[in-house]
Structure 1
Amino acid sequence: MPFDAQATAATADRTQPNPRPIALWLLTVAGMVWVMVAIGGATRLTGSGLSIMEWAPLSGALPPLSEAEWNRLFALYQTIPQYALVNEGFGLAGFKEIFWLEWVHRLWGRLIGLAYALPLAWFWLRGRIPAGYRSRLLLLLALGGLQGAVGWFMVASGFEADRTAVSPYRLVLHLGLALGLYAALLWTALSLLRAPAAAGPDAGTVRRQAKAAAWLVVAAMLAGGFVAGLRAGLDYNTFPLMDGRLVPEGYWRLAPGWTNLTANIAAVQFNHRLLATLAALAALGAAFAGWRRLPPGFARQACLALGGTVCLQYGLGVATLLLHVPVWLGTLHQACAVLVLTAALVALHALRQPRNAT
């Protein structure tokens, strides 16, 4: 490159905003979303999600400040089927126990919104956002707002007659959007921190294997949402067989047939097991391919991390099942799922090829 061209490129680089602060901010918000997924798991496992029957984005940030307000909210809760069919007679003290976890869940969502919106405005007004990222950051803001609305849409389904929990379909929608938001935050931050770099002549092959593992991980996580929504983990608490069979009896007992995939406890749990096993095998295959085909470096380490995290998650899943889904272990299992997703995304990002790579 001629000297003048080199000088021009260097000057242009100096005029570009430093992307590192933006990336660190996005990673912080992504970490908060990760915590939110774990809190959401605990909320679901304890049956706390229906304790707050009002959507008050501003005033709801404050907890009840008087006994009269506590009694008013408890009276509202007593009108829904969950109270009559599950918690009747547990009193105001019992209501407060489930209320506080849901209140923390919603408060944390508000804090995520502030942690994203306020720095975004500051970076925007200061001209610190790198070229090409403004639209993406605005889209992430919109997705965050949509997630709050979908959360209430999910909770409202639990107030319907004869229902003691939220709709599994809306639960999976809420979970899927949270995972999508987390993935977008993480991927954007990684793109700001790491430019594509050649990971070796066989990187394309390893990337295809890692991509297959990533999609299977996502499928297993969404299938796990239906397991959670149906409380299917409380049945068939043996492994690897289900009631002494590889494929449980009654797998296809519902009509129309497609409803078995989302409403049949036997089928839903089997599908989650199957997808988790396929995801684990694919991730271990990607780790082995990375170890064999990639030179020492970040991409190789990322593939090995993918294999390690999926083994950890698989073990947690089996333990959660065998122990009849204790709250602490079920919450840890849901949180570790995000760790596996993180490892898959980091591996895929590390295996990107430069645009001019042949």
Structure 2
Amino acid sequence: MATKRSIFEEVGDGEVAAERAAQPGAIDRGRRGARKGIRAWLIVIFVLVVAMIAVGGLTRLTDSGLSITEWRPITGAIPPMSEVEWQSEFDKYKQIDQWRIENKWMELADFQAIYWWEWGHRQLGRLIGLVWAVGFLGFLVARRIPTGWTGRLIIPGALGGLQGAIGWWMVTSGVTQGEGMTSVASYRLATHLGLAFVILGVIAWYVFQLGREERDLMQARRGREAKLFSLSTGLMHFAFLQILLGALVAGIDAGRAYTDWPLMGGQILPPNPFMIEPLWRNFFENPGLVQFIHRVSGYLLLVFGVVVWLRGRRSSHAATRFAFNAVFAALLLQVSLGIVTVIYAAPVHAALTHQIVAVLVWVLILRARFLSQYPVTKSIREG
């Protein structure tokens, strides 16, 4: 005897009905890929880039950047292996102005000390490129890159290649004969460091995005805090400008020009601020004026940071409020370190710490900006 069936019952057997049943997370399943794996890979690259910035800072502080006078992207990975090869490298260094004007006192052992810093800096660059290439090709071949991410993941590699070319362009400005140059051009140094922070910013943003599912980001975008996002974007740009100004200071050793604070040479504006002709060059090459601009810009950045922090404290999201608290704390730390660095005439450990904390400030600003765009909401049950 046939049983009665509801008009609302699925037609077909149980397996067909199960297949047709709605499945949660369809958006994420189609776009997920190896999100966790790619995120971990990008974090490794991020750490290597931070190390690269630190070693680059030490290379600059120890005046080691011109010790290798040639750009050999492949064969340069092998350091001198014999006394003859070391002497050959030293002879090449003796042909440039830095040795002729500043370092005639050097013996081979002294040259080797600065050579290893520059060689290590270049090796880190090669390692970063290798880690990116192996990771990208591995995820690509395995077809584990999430939908829409292939082009994005090419960007760090492309910027890294450009960074290598800019690094050599920077070095060539100091590898001179008869021009009186004893260091790299500060403009090129600022370009080199600025691009490093751009690469860090791109990677950090990707890491933030990959830390949450696409569905979560799409929903969070609806609660975007537009005003706070705009303010944090302005703070990001201001911080980037201050980083470039810091590179100009480092490029001409302006951090050691005046060691009193808050005045400079006993006055507000340093003595002879416009002694170089033409006038515009003073804003980039006069140590006193460049340090003064960096100081004033730092004060203004802190003031603007207070404004953004006060606005961030009014966010309705706890994670966002905490992010802006962290930004403000890092800014206070960075200003304090800047003052200490000036007072003690930019010793290596203080100057390097100042540079690394700049990375911290940069990433925390990006994190706060990200949470303004994609706030983390909590349910009533979660408090």
The TM-score, its normalising length taken from structure 2, stands at 0.86
Q: State how 1:134-145 maps to structure 2 within 5 Å.
A: 134-145=150-161
Q: How far apart are 1:353 and its partner, in Å? A: 4.9
- One-letter amino acid of the structure 2 residue matched with residue 74 of structure 1: F
Map of 2:274 onto structure 1: 252
Q: State how 1:270-349 maps to structure 2 within 5 Å.
A: 270-291=292-313, 293-349=314-370
Match of 1:127 among 143, 148, 151: 143
Tell me whether 13-22 or 212-221 shows the greater mean CA deviation: 13-22
**Structure richer in helix, relative to its length:** 1
- 8 Å CA contact 1:43–1:105 kept in 2: the answer is yes
Q: How far apart are 1:12 and its partner, in Å? A: 4.4
Answering whether residue 197 of structure 2 is matched by residue 182 of structure 1, we say: no
Answering whether residue 184 of structure 2 is matched by residue 163 of structure 1, we say: no
- 8 Å CA contact 1:209–1:282 kept in 2: the answer is no
Supply the distance in 1 between the matched residues of 2:54 and 2:248 (Cα, whole angstroms).
16
5+ residue gaps, structure 1, are: none
Q: Deviations over 1:172-213 (max 9, x none)?
A: 111111111111111122122232665998933333332222
* Alignment size in residue pairs: 351
Supply the distance in 2 between the matched residues of 1:136 and 1:65 (Cα, whole angstroms).
40
Answering whether residue 227 of structure 2 is matched by residue 209 of structure 1, we say: no
- One-letter amino acid of the structure 2 residue matched with residue 261 of structure 1: F
Tell me whether 195-204 or 62-71 shows the greater mean CA deviation: 195-204
- One-letter amino acid of the structure 2 residue matched with residue 14 of structure 1: R
- 8 Å CA contact 2:30–2:147 kept in 1: the answer is no
Match of 1:56 among 72, 82, 105: 72
Map of 1:107 onto structure 2: 123
Shift of the 162–197 alpha-carbon distance from structure 1 to 2, 3 Å rule, reads farther
- 8 Å CA contact 1:48–1:98 kept in 2: the answer is yes
- One-letter amino acid of the structure 2 residue matched with residue 288 of structure 1: L
Shift of the 4–275 alpha-carbon distance from structure 1 to 2, 3 Å rule, reads farther
Shift of the 4–253 alpha-carbon distance from structure 1 to 2, 3 Å rule, reads farther
Q: Deviations over 1:19-73 (max 9, x none)?
A: 2221221122112111111111110010000011121111211221111100000
Shift of the 82–6 alpha-carbon distance from structure 1 to 2, 3 Å rule, reads farther
Supply the distance in 2 between the matched residues of 1:21 and 1:283 (Cα, whole angstroms).
35
Answering whether residue 38 of structure 2 is matched by residue 38 of structure 1, we say: no
Supply the distance in 2 between the matched residues of 1:134 and 1:248 (Cα, whole angstroms).
51
- 8 Å CA contact 1:287–1:305 kept in 2: the answer is no
Supply the distance in 1 between the matched residues of 2:244 and 2:254 (Cα, whole angstroms).
14
Q: Secondary structure at the match of 1:38?
A: helix
- 8 Å CA contact 1:210–1:282 kept in 2: the answer is no
- One-letter amino acid of the structure 2 residue matched with residue 332 of structure 1: T
Q: Secondary structure at the match of 1:87?
A: coil
- 8 Å CA contact 2:258–2:265 kept in 1: the answer is yes
5+ residue gaps, structure 2, are: 1-17, 376-383
- One-letter amino acid of the structure 2 residue matched with residue 241 of structure 1: L
Aligned Cα root-mean-square deviation (Å): 2.2
Supply the distance in 2 between the matched residues of 1:116 and 1:269 (Cα, whole angstroms).
37
Shift of the 208–96 alpha-carbon distance from structure 1 to 2, 3 Å rule, reads same
Q: How far apart are 1:244 and its partner, in Å? A: 1.6
Q: Secondary structure at the match of 1:243?
A: coil
Supply the distance in 2 between the matched residues of 1:212 and 1:22 (Cα, whole angstroms).
29
- One-letter amino acid of the structure 1 residue matched with residue 234 of structure 2: A
Shift of the 200–266 alpha-carbon distance from structure 1 to 2, 3 Å rule, reads farther
Match of 1:14 among 12, 16, 29: 29
Supply the distance in 1 between the matched residues of 2:43 and 2:355 (Cα, whole angstroms).
19
- 8 Å CA contact 1:158–1:166 kept in 2: the answer is yes
Shift of the 19–6 alpha-carbon distance from structure 1 to 2, 3 Å rule, reads farther
Q: Secondary structure at the match of 1:49?
A: coil
Map of 1:72 onto structure 2: 88
- 8 Å CA contact 1:199–1:294 kept in 2: the answer is no
- 8 Å CA contact 1:48–1:99 kept in 2: the answer is yes
Shift of the 32–253 alpha-carbon distance from structure 1 to 2, 3 Å rule, reads same
- 8 Å CA contact 1:216–1:276 kept in 2: the answer is no
Q: Secondary structure at the match of 1:351?
A: helix
- 8 Å CA contact 2:224–2:373 kept in 1: the answer is no
Q: How far apart are 1:257 and its partner, in Å? A: 3.3
Q: How far apart are 1:6 and its partner, in Å? A: 8.6
Q: How far apart are 1:250 and its partner, in Å? A: 2.8
- 8 Å CA contact 1:226–1:268 kept in 2: the answer is yes
Q: Deviations over 1:115-160 (max 9, x none)?
A: 1110100001111111111112112211111101110110111112
Answering whether residue 167 of structure 2 is matched by residue 173 of structure 1, we say: no
Supply the distance in 2 between the matched residues of 1:267 and 1:324 (Cα, whole angstroms).
16
- One-letter amino acid of the structure 1 residue matched with residue 134 of structure 2: L
